[in-house]
Structure 1
């Protein structure tokens, strides 16, 4: 009974068993923490799990989207900034041209056509399609051209009164009109008007209209004085509307003067106006005797030479062809060929291709016949009979072929 009780009681360990040496470890060695050990053992798995979680995926996607949006926004901002800069520069240029245009109009109103011409030429050089700068420039060029040729040599003298009576002036004016001396008729009629403005007013006005109209037509069609002719037409228009023929003459003179305004400086524009005149009056000549067609052809040539000087060879080739189409000129053919070669550009020198020479070769086909004579002698008699049959063939090869064939006859 006591033995069974001892078995159920806890045994007290002995002092030797409880010593550190008996336990097999040092006293000072700390026991590892279970949490640290478990964490170190499951670290990589937790990170992979975190990256695979839906929240992490959504967060990374949002971050990548933000980066893309930021990059696209930066690129769009740069493009918009460049466009705004270009638009600002263009707007500033347009404002400056508009300012110069308004100043040119003010100069024209003030009569300072020289300064107006400089402003309009500057605007035309920057933008030829700016508003109506082309038309304004033409007006100024016509005015400055006419004033430069019509400047008086000295101060204008006061006209002397004609002492003849008005009846005599009237008859003298009629005689000048019949003789087609338009200048003398105009001077006489003006003297009559100064002597008595009420003397045959309607008749004098009609004669002044006819004299001014006819002198304007004469100046344009016969003398090549286009500015003076236009001035006469303008004065005649104060007495009544011009007829269709006078309107045609005025259009011719204006086209010629428009072409002169662009002569040499802008040959293509000059050719445009001269070309219109060529279709109407190709033989219209200026005071120097140069016809409208001559001006047109020279403008085409100037344009072609200008393109060639700028290295625009293909455009120059087309321009030279237009010159030749307008009028054939043999002296331009070498230049035209040179421009055409320059348009083609440098090309490699082609290697010579050997040409096949047809040679006459004779093909000899010998035919030998051996005859055996069964006579007294056992030795056969060999009688060769050779027939040469030449056949002429044209072959591209340089080596003649010879095909001998031996046909023994038993």
Structure 2
């Protein structure tokens, strides 16, 4: 009998090895596919969770902004009511006009505005003017008396029409030439003129001139509450301007106070927003991301913009990557650096 041929056995073994080798890549492909499927599921789950978290955060931010805006509007309506009670209809109208720009359909502001307009009209009732009298003939004394009376008549008309700029030089000239003529009335007219000019200029870009006129008015009589309020707001304004670009933290505190009590004055709320961003930029300049994130977030909650969103995202990433480094013999670094006035404002 003949023995089995060895090459045939080797051939069988070779075929079996080839099959096993062919199965290995297939298994690898299947495992890779399974891993890709699992990875896709995990990624999809993460994206869904992240999306809902983002939407939830955005909804919360919108709710916070709406709540803050509603509180500020209600506060201004309340202050306008106090202004009417204290006899300051002009300031009440200023507050109510701001409220109606923010919330045109506000029923309380609309009703109160009509009341404030009526009160302001009552306070602007012109002073009774004397009819022009013919100068008696034949006496020099009567002629001299007729000159200041005519000038005073013209000044009365100007003051009643709130033409303060035209009335002021005539009043000063009249008092200089005739210091004892109707002094009580001319002082009152001068007080009204100084007060009107002060309130006009303190609401413009010439705040210092307005404050000077209010000081002149105060020498002739007590200032009404409206003028006192504007003088306080002007002081906050000057302090905020002085620190803006130098120390954004202090500047933002002043702008915040001014925005809270008088959002209509000197664009205070927009300036507060710019101060917050400048403060955040100051921290970001030194790569101090965690405090920058906190400040950017505050600014974002007030007024979200695309540019601010990019800054906030960068600060979040930087803060997340930051790691406190303990130093022997000292306190652990907190990731905050002191503000310095050397970094230019953003």
TM-score (norm. length: structure 2): 0.50
- Structure number with the higher helix fraction is 2
TM-score (norm. length: structure 1): 0.42
